[in-house]
Amino acid sequence: RIVPDKTIFKSAGKFPLASVMEWATIAAFFTPSFKVNVYLASGKTKQLYFPNGPIDYIKAQVEKLKAEPLSKKAFIISGNKAVDCVVQFTNFGECEFHGFTNGLRNVEGGVHVSAFYKALYESLKLYVKRGQEFRSDDLREGLIGIVNAKMSHPQFDSQTKEKLVDERADKPLLTLLTAELKKFFAANKTLAAAVIDQAVKLRDLHNKFKLSKTATREIKKLMKTGFPSTAIVAPGVPPHRRELILLEGESAKGSASQARLPFQEVLPLKGKILNALRKKDAQVFSSNEVVNIL
């Protein structure tokens, strides 16, 4: 029961039902044997009881977000004295992994959340194939789960307890989570490969986005300065009536310039640029010839 001090709470004891339900639901999820009853003003009673605790919480979140799990197997540490951690790996386009301390939500995460991300990266290193590149951040997409640190007198960054900064939840949890995740992936190698593959694809997308921005920047520069001096242009002809001829090798420039019509422009390129299918995107977009063509 809550009896608010009316000199402090302007609402005179009337709390938003959504806030009360959120607290009651989280309390019931984190204490599997605990039944929470919410008595509504209408006289009805809402009972919250989740016998599987945090596992039920994650199942509910996956259904709510309409995410598709990469595997039926979920990573579960429940009932441990130091931590609860339940994670489902999915194809969800965002990260829904949240930190709690003694059942209280830490909106900005903290050392316990960082410990999980580090442990996940370390445990998956064993399954990385040659040529697969990704960062720790790339593993976050698709995560739906929680880590709940259990400790006495936890230290937060502020009175609002938005971020856990207690060092006791750093290295000890990192060691524990790394060991448990290694066991989990050893028994679920197909899932490990799927998680890595998803992270690699995400890293490729990030790289291509960065490269496309780089290429766009270079093209904009070129649009201001014009083609290189080796090109033959037709400035007096409207752009939509021009025709651009790409030459393989600068040696053909002379004969092309003599044979061209007034609306035709000539851009000599190297005899052999590069095999864009076999080269990495970074090499392709750093090529002057490619940027000129684009």
Per-residue pLDDT of the chain (294 residues; tens, 9 = 90+): 677 787 877 766 677 888 888 888 888 888 888 899 998 888 999 999 999 888 898 999 999 999 999 999 999 998 889 999 999 999 998 999 999 999 889 999 999 999 999 999 999 999 999 989 999 999 999 999 999 999 999 999 998 899 999 999 999 999 999 999 999 999 999 999 999 999 999 998 888 878 788 778 888 887 777 778 888 889 889 989 999 998 887 777 778 888 899 999 999 888 777 887 888 777 787 788 888 888
CB 234 within 8 A of CB 242: yes
Closest C-alpha among 172, 223, 207 to residue 285: 207
| pTM greater than 0.75 (yes/no) | no
Residue 196 tokens, joined: 């890595």
Write the DSSP symbol of residue 158.
Answer: S
| Backbone Cα Rg of the chain | 30
How many whole angstroms separate alpha carbon 117 and alpha carbon 87? Answer: 12
Closest C-alpha among 132, 179, 145 to residue 76: 145
Q: How many CB atoms lie within 10 A of CB 151?
A: 18
Dihedral sign for Cα 212, 218, 223, 228, please.
Answer: negative
How many whole angstroms separate alpha carbon 73 and alpha carbon 185? Answer: 10
